[in-house]
Amino acid sequence: MIDASAIRRIGSLPFQKMNDETLVVDPKTREVHLLNPTASRVWELLATPQTLGDLVGSLGREFDAPAETLRADVTALLQELSGKGLIDSTGWRKDDR
Amino acid sequence: MIPRDAAAARCRDDELVGMESAAALIRTAQTWAHDNVVPFNVSLETTLECNIRCIHCYNFDRDEPRARTRQSCRPAAAPERPRLSTDELLGLIGDVRAAGCLFLSLTGGEVLTHPDLFALLDRARELNMAVQLLTNGTMLRPGIAGKLARLPNLLGASVSLYGASAGVHDGITQVTGSFQRTWDGVERLRAAGVSVRLKYIVMRQNAHETEAMMAMATARDLPYSVDLTITARHDGSDGSLAARIDGSQLEALYRGPLRPLLPPGRRPPPPAETFNCNCARGNCAISATGEVYPCISVPWSAGNVRDRPFAEIWGRSPVFQRIRGLTLADFPQCAPCPHRGHCTHDRGAAFNATGDYTGADPFVCQTAELAHRLADESGD
């Protein structure tokens, strides 16, 4: 993942917030994903494209965690969301996904 | 509808085309919507126009001038209203989304007769809603099927089928060639990559083709549902009931081709707290004239979106409050019934048969009794 690249939701995916979780439906793959509260918050922030730095900055103001830990956790989460086809990035390398 | 597994969706309006593999997670979400009173599933009747004239149509008698509307389908003494305009429908899609709707079912009449259908679909896409279409399939020309396939938020299409032969199907639709056009539409959708589920409505006229229809669907690897319950019409007329199968046809079907679809073994009555379906809790429907119903099968108006915003009707209507407050004890025929475990608890059939949401349709009761008897005979 490239730090400066813009990460975004796959724009047209149907989703609905359910309390602090989010249900995301992918009609093309026939899969449904239930995002946990942290992933839901990231999904919410990605309503507008963000860089990894933006995301870590925003989450750092909400979660009491060391910056490096947060960065590693967010990176892993983004890789997972990308692997499920829920987000993409203008700067992702093929082997990042 | 054939009684389903106890773990299945609470009612037919919860069922989603093409998402069978994700059923468990969707059930969890439907339960959340039920418990939190969120209109997760909305059926929107975009039009009453239809290009076929089915003898069992629940909207109104398509062979007669529109003369009557069941009083409960709209406020007392109110004249029938004009149908919602495209602008009103577009606004309404936004309103139901804001209230928590994720799954939007577009129906009719025939939904593909709506001149601005793709504007409605685009609106749902912009709002990240998942959409399914209920259609007779006859208007799925190549260009339309391809255009639908390109919609990233389309779950699929539920296509009505009324026979395994052109003679029987076309006799029910009263339109020669409709059987072939429906199948052409189904094949075009599938070729384009759109999920399709067949919906087979069993009637006196087509009961003898049930097994053949099931074989046709299976041979094409098409999922299907079988529905036995023909109801009176939403206009209050009941000519559609002449198409209902009788007791001997029902028994022949249940002992024959439909037997494998019946859940095996004796089924205890469901717990009282799970008796209510998703009507007015996770589901609702909006008619082509703006009346808000607890579901598409129950034309009991909770208000009209031209008089009050959808959110206000959803949150405060006395009709919806009453439904949400019902307990098993409020259903006088169902509460003591020994066949409850084998029953569909079809509120639409009950309402259309008796005018009472807590009533019971004798045909549904007969079906439950038979399913129970067969379970007893099997000795499981």
Distance from CA of A11 to the nearest CA of B (A): 8
Interface of A with B (CB under 8 A): 12-16, 18-19, 23, 25, 27-28, 30-32, 34
CB within 8 Å of chain A, chain B residues 126-155: 128-130, 152-155
Buried b (16+ CB within 10 A) or exposed e, B252-283: ebbeebbeebbbeeebebeeeeebbbbbbbbb
Q: Within 13 A of B154's CA, how many CA atoms are on the CB side?
A: 24
B60-64, B124-128, B271-275, B335-339: range with lowest mean pLDDT: B60-64
Contact B60, B235 (CB under 8 A): yes
Q: Which of A19, A30, A43 to mutate to test the interface with B (most CBs of B within 10 A)?
A: A30
Q: What is the pLDDT of residue B229?
A: 83
Residue-wise pLDDT for A55-80, tens only, equals 999 999 998 888 899 999 999 999 99
Percent of chain B with pLDDT over 90: 69
DSSP structure class, residue B122: H
Tokens of B196: 């399709």
Rounded-to-integer distance, Cα B3 and Cα B226, Å: 10
Cα torsion angle, B147, B148, B149, B153, sign: positive
Residue-wise pLDDT for B90-134, tens only, equals 999 999 999 999 999 999 889 999 999 999 999 999 999 999 999
* Residue B1 pLDDT level (bands cut at 50, 70, 90): low
Nearest CA in chain A to B34: A18
Nearest CA in chain A to B38: A18
What does DSSP say about strands B41-45 and B103-107: parallel, antiparallel, or unpaired?
parallel
Give B75 or B230, the one with higher predicted confidence.
Answer: B230
Give B3 or B137, the one with higher predicted confidence.
Answer: B137
Distance from CA of B136 to the nearest CA of A (A): 21
C-beta atoms surrounding B289 within 10 Å: 19
**B102:A14 CB<8 A:** yes
Rounded-to-integer distance, Cα B233 and Cα B141, Å: 30
Residues of A in contact with B125 (CB under 8 A): 12
Rounded-to-integer distance, Cα B4 and Cα B51, Å: 32
- Rg for chain A, CA atoms, rounded: 13
Question: If residue B373 lies in a helix (H) or strand (E), which one and from where to where?
Answer: helix B362-378
End-to-end, the C-alpha distance of chain A in Å comes to 9
Rounded-to-integer distance, Cα B165 and Cα B213, Å: 9
Q: What is the pLDDT of residue B270?
A: 81
**A:B CB pairs within 8 Å:** 57
Q: Average pLDDT over chain B, rounded to whole?
A: 89
- Span B365-379, mean pLDDT? 91
User: Residues of chain A whose pLDDT is less than 70?
Assistant: 1-4, 91-97
Q: What is the pLDDT of residue A92?
A: 55
Question: If residue A65 lies in a helix (H) or strand (E), which one and from where to where?
Answer: none
Rounded-to-integer distance, Cα A43 and Cα A53, Å: 15
Q: Which of B19, B127, B128, B131 to mutate to test the interface with A (most CBs of A within 10 A)?
A: B128
Is the confidence at residue B55, as pLDDT, over 60?
yes
**A13:B155 CB<8 A:** no
Rounded-to-integer distance, Cα B72 and Cα B136, Å: 28
Distance from CA of B122 to the nearest CA of A (A): 10
By the CB < 8 Å criterion, does B99 face chain A?
Answer: no
Residue-wise pLDDT for B192-221, tens only, equals 999 999 999 999 999 999 999 999 999 999
Residues of A in contact with B35 (CB under 8 A): none
Contact B226, B200 (CB under 8 A): yes
Distance from CA of A67 to the nearest CA of B (A): 33
Is the confidence at residue B9, as pLDDT, over 60?
no
**A15:B128 CB<8 A:** yes
Q: What is the pLDDT of residue B286?
A: 97
pTM (two decimals): 0.91
Query: How far from chain centre, in Å, is Cα A95?
Result: 18
Rounded-to-integer distance, Cα B182 and Cα B139, Å: 8
* Residue B266 pLDDT level (bands cut at 50, 70, 90): confident
Helical H runs in B104-177?
117-126, 142-149, 166-173
Is the confidence at residue B5, as pLDDT, over 50?
no
B100-109, B236-245, B347-356: range with lowest mean pLDDT: B236-245
Predicted-complex ipTM score: 0.88
Tokens of B112: 């593909």
Residue-wise pLDDT for B158-180, tens only, equals 999 999 999 999 999 999 999 99
* Residue B6 pLDDT level (bands cut at 50, 70, 90): very low
C-beta atoms surrounding B216 within 10 Å: 19
**A13:B153 CB<8 A:** yes
Rounded-to-integer distance, Cα B243 and Cα B251, Å: 16
Distance from CA of A85 to the nearest CA of B (A): 13
By the CB < 8 Å criterion, does B24 face chain A?
Answer: no
Rounded-to-integer distance, Cα A70 and Cα A60, Å: 7
What is the residue whose two structure tokens read 């999920």?
A: B195
Residues of A in contact with B25 (CB under 8 A): 23, 32, 34
Percent of chain B with pLDDT over 70: 91
